[in-house]
């Protein structure tokens, strides 16, 4: 099969071995896959992963032990767990120490014609959701994870820092909570997506005051942490959604003095993400900058890495 992989450099191979599903897993023909910031960071050395990249996808089940899955259109949760360790027994499957993660750690990903995932990870895509929307289920679920971790009240002043793909999804999810919300970024055309939805935006840091109850860092860079912390009131909550190659300098004393609650936030629930898309409560079509064939994958990565670009999709 054709596959886009990273082994120290980004390569497109025309004859990469097609994966064979082990017991309990399905073979999925990828219909559409999305490039996210994590993929770009992996290509810089993040996580030390080598193999087929990609974890945002929608596809068709072509082989499975349970025949009821055959021909079904699916999306898939990316963390594959053992189910037996102490963390799994507590239901913390995404933190299983033996886990593999689609296109990120120990498991080939979605930038290929085929991938494999456990049947337990798969979710059927309702007919009302087109592929171009379904490919956003994984990052939308990551945005929804914030609501699994903290309570966002209508009286809270909330700011989302970063106007990339994830930041725009996070802002839409938080807007549904009725809070006093502001999204800040450096790209007017990206913030325009939120403005059209009635969400307040601010271009650049400017004169913003550090008085927000909740700050969500979606900048995707080390400098974003300091920026986000500077906007937070004492005893406020800082939610980190950014992952990147490299390290960030952290003023730990300030966290102590201000009694800051710091929360890392990663993967989230697929079922409510699918429901938001089915009901049209989150708008994703305007986040797509380009859709390219897999054969143009290297160029697609270059395009996705440009600051003015939002989501780039690959079609095997």
If you write DSSP's letter for every residue of 259-300 in order, what string do you get?
Answer: T-EEEE-----HHHHHHHHHTT-S--GGGEEEEEEGGGHHHH
pLDDT attached to residue 224? 84
C-alpha to C-alpha distances, 87 to 90, 93, 148, nearest whole angstrom: 5, 7, 18
Q: State whether 62 and 157 are in the same domain.
A: no
Residue 292's pLDDT band, with cuts at 50, 70 and 90, is: very high
Rounded CA separation 125/131 (Å): 9
Contacts of 244 (CB under 8 A, 6+ apart): 37, 41, 46, 220, 221, 222
Q: State whether 180 and 250 are in the same domain.
A: yes
Q: State whether 149 and 198 are in the same domain.
A: yes
Q: Is 171 in a helix, a strand, or coil?
A: helix
Tokens read off for 25: 């897993």
Q: State whether 158 and 218 are in the same domain.
A: yes
The enclosing domain of 58 has a CATH number of: 3.90.180.10
Residue 226's pLDDT band, with cuts at 50, 70 and 90, is: confident
Confirm whether 91 is domain-assigned.
yes
Q: State whether 202 and 307 are in the same domain.
A: no
The enclosing domain of 201 has a CATH number of: 3.40.50.720
Q: State whether 169 and 203 are in the same domain.
A: yes
Confirm whether 269 is domain-assigned.
no
Q: State whether 132 and 24 are in the same domain.
A: yes
C-alpha to C-alpha distances, 178 to 135, 194, 198, 279, nearest whole angstrom: 26, 15, 12, 18
Number of domains comprising the chain = 2
Q: State whether 158 and 255 are in the same domain.
A: yes
The whole-chain average pLDDT of the chain stands at 95
Q: State whether 260 and 290 are in the same domain.
A: no
- Report the percent of the chain where pLDDT is more than 90: 87
Tokens read off for 314: 């690959």
Q: State whether 132 and 14 are in the same domain.
A: yes
Residue range 180-209: average pLDDT?
91
Confirm whether 260 is domain-assigned.
yes
Q: Can you say how many angstroms the Cα of residue 82 is from the centroid of all Cα atoms in its chain?
A: 23
Q: Is 39 in a helix, a strand, or coil?
A: helix
Confirm whether 95 is domain-assigned.
yes
Task: Tell me the residue range of the domain where 175 lies.
Answer: 140-264
Confirm whether 279 is domain-assigned.
no
Residue 58's pLDDT band, with cuts at 50, 70 and 90, is: very high
- Closest among 18, 97, 71 to 316, alpha carbons compared: 18
DSSP alpha helix (H) spans, 137-283: 137-149, 165-175, 188-195, 223-229, 252-257, 270-278
Q: What is the largest CA-CA distance in the chain?
A: 59
């Amino acid at each position: 099969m054709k596959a886009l992989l990273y082994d120290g450099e980004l390569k497109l191979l025309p004859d990469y071995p097609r994966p064979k599903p082990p017991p309990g897993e399905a073979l999925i023909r990828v219909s559409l896959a999305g490039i996210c910031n994590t993929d770009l960071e992996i290509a810089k050395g993040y996580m030390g992963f080598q193999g087929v990249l990609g974890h945002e996808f929608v596809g068709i089940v072509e082989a499975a032990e349970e025949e009821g899955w055959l021909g079904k259109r699916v999306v898939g949760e990316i963390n594959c767990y053992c189910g037996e360790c102490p963390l799994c027994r507590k239901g913390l499957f995404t933190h299983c120490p033996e886990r593999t993660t689609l296109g990120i750690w120990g498991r080939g990903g979605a930038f290929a014609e085929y991938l494999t995932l456990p049947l337990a990870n798969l979710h059927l895509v309702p007919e009302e959701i087109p592929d171009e929307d379904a490919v956003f289920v994984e990052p939308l679920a990551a945005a929804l994870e914030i609501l699994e971790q903290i309570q966002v009240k209508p009286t809270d002043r909330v700011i989302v820092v970063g106007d990339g793909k994830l930041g725009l999804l996070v802002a839409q999810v938080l807007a549904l909570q009725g809070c006093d919300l502001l999204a800040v970024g450096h790209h007017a055309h990206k913030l325009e997506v939120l403005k059209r939805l009635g969400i307040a935006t601010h271009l650049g840091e400017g004169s913003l005051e550090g008085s927000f109850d909740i700050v969500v860092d979606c900048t995707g860079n080390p400098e974003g942490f300091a920026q986000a912390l500077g906007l937070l009131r004492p005893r406020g909550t800082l939610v980190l959604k950014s992952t990147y190659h490299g390290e960030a300098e952290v003023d730990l004393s300030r966290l102590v003095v201000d009694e800051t609650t710091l929360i890392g936030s990663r993967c989230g629930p697929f079922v409510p993400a699918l429901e938001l898309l089915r009901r049209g409560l989150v708008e994703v079509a305007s986040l797509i900058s380009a859709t390219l064939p897999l054969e143009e994958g290297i160029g697609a990565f270059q395009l996705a890495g440009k600051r003015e670009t939002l989501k780039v999709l690959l079609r095997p």
